[in-house]
Each structure stands twice: as structure tokens, then as C-alpha cells.
Amino acid sequence: MTEERKKDGDGGERREFERRTVFTEMLNLFSLVGILYGALDERLSFKEGMRKQFEKPVWFYRTRLESNFLACLGGITFALYLFQVATGILLLMYYRPTTAEAYRSVVEITTQVPYGWLIRGIHRWGANLMVVTVLLHMMRVFFTAAYRPPRDVTWVNGMLLLVLTFGFGFSGYLLPWSQASYWATTVGTDSMSAIPIVGDTLKYFVRGGNTVGQLALTRSFAFHVVILPGLMLLFLVLHFLMIRRQGIAEPL
């Protein structure tokens, strides 16, 4: 028993040392670009804030969370979202959101822009992976009953993030303005008519008219690059704040 406690103590000390080493490396990285020097750090205490974030343990199953893959699905989804933002900004530099130029600009990105095929491929597959990981994350939370009070508000916030993720996929699918994206959007918006009371109004709002045309492309572009990213950022901040406040729930 004494040996087991000693091993646990040694393991805890080793993990604490590794965590402090990561913090030191991150601190040195930020210091290289001058962020943590001078009067700015004296007023905003960047070093102290970073230390609290990197040294705070997260608890799961009454133990420190070290290498549980299922509990990391939310973080993986967030990392994929950051990749989507970065590659989306690069694609915006060449994409032209008009029915006459959209498809041509996508072809130019893929065939003529240096590494354009790679950036577009990362953006496309990252979107698919993000949908998969967010669904797996929601399943993990559901089957471990982590949605129970007092984390029910966090669960509702996560459901809104799931809806926004689907919104990203739907609005982004039309942007290449290919035959597949045109008819998929046409079928998708037609299905909105099945929604009681507001179905036809919602379909007209998304299309901007009776058919999928320039207004539909413009609105999809606006949702994909302005409206949805802003909402996603807002709900992500709220989601992270609630998780930091309440921690990760224990299982049943």
C-alpha cells in the first residue's frame, strides 16, 4: 500500500513537472515576439493569466484528466474550427461570390493558386471531420449523462453550437456554385417547406426569391463568413466559460 501511494505520488509529481514545462515553453514562445514585455504585461498580467490556465487541473472520473480520448473530442472539434477559420480566410482572398465567377474562382484556387488545392482540401475535409467530432462529442456527453444539472445550460449551449456547425456545412456547400451544390441547395431549401407555418417563409428567406440564384449565393456567403462565425465565437466563449466554471461531469 505504501509503495502504491509512493508510485502515485511520483506520478503526480511527474505530471506536475510536465505541466510546468509546457507552461514554461509556451511562455518563452510568447516572450520571443515581445508580447509579455513592458508596461502591457504590468497592467494586464499576461504571465499570471497564462500560468493559471496551464496549471489548472481538469477532473474526470474523480481523477486528473490526462489522456482520455473521449473527453478530448470537444477540444479536437475546437482545433478543427480554428483550422477552418484559417483556411477560410486564405480562400477568401481568391473567391468571388457571384454566379458568373464563383465556380471559375474555385477552379483557379484549385489549379492555379500555389498550394490552393491543399488549402481547399484542408477546408473541405476539416468541415467533414468537424461534423463527425462534434457529433461524437455530443454522444459522449449524452451517454455519460454529463448534461444533467447544473450543466444543463452547457448542454443547451452545445446543442446551439451543433446547429451552427450544420449551418456552416449547409451554407458553405453552395459557395462553389457547381451542379452538385446548386441542386443540393435546391433540394435542401425545398424541404424547408415541410416545416409547419414558417416553412415557406424560411425557404424564401434562405433563397432570397423563388429559385436558387445570385441572392441565395450572396446570403449563403454572408452567413458562412460573417453571421455564423460571429455567433459561433459568442457561444464558444460562453461554452468554455461554463466548462471552466463547473468542470467536467462525473459519470452515472
- The confidence score (pLDDT) of residue 252 equals 45
Helices (H), the chain: 2-32, 39-44, 46-55, 73-92, 102-111, 116-143, 152-174, 179-191, 199-207, 214-222, 228-246
pLDDT tens figures, 89-130? 999 999 999 999 999 999 999 999 999 999 999 999 999 999
Residue with cell 481538469: 58
172 close to 127: Cβ distance less than 8 angstroms: yes
Judge residue 175's burial from the number of C-beta atoms within 10 Å of its C-beta, 0-12 exposed, 13-18 middle, 19 or more buried: buried
| Cα–chain center distance at 106 | 24
pLDDT value at position 217?
96
* The residue to which cell 488545392 is assigned: 117
| Confidence at residue 65, expressed as pLDDT on a 0 to 100 scale | 46
- State how far the Cα of 8 lies from the Cα of 43, in Å rounded to an integer: 40
- Give the span between the Cα atoms of 139 and 207, in whole angstroms: 33
Supply φ then ψ for residue 67, to 5 degrees: -145, 35
**Collapsing DSSP states into helix, strand and coil, what is residue 63?**
strand
Distance, C-alpha 239 to centroid of its chain: 11
CA distance 145 to 153: 13
* Local confidence pLDDT in tens for the 252 residues of the chain: 455 444 445 555 666 655 566 666 666 665 655 555 556 667 777 777 767 766 665 555 444 444 467 778 898 999 999 999 999 999 999 999 999 999 999 999 999 999 999 999 999 999 999 999 999 999 988 888 888 888 899 999 999 999 999 999 999 999 999 999 999 999 999 999 899 989 999 999 999 988 999 999 999 999 999 999 999 999 999 999 998 888 776 554
d(CA 100, CA 172): 17
The predicted structure's pLDDT at residue 23: 60
Contact between 66 and 72 (Cβ < 8 Å): no
In this structure, the number of other CB atoms found within 10 A of the CB of residue 206 comes to 20
Q: What is the separation of C-alpha 111 from the centre of its chain, rounded to a whole number of angstroms?
A: 28
Span 59-82, pLDDT tens digits: 554 444 444 677 788 989 999 999
Phi, psi of 146 (to 5 degrees): -75, 0
pLDDT at 62: 46
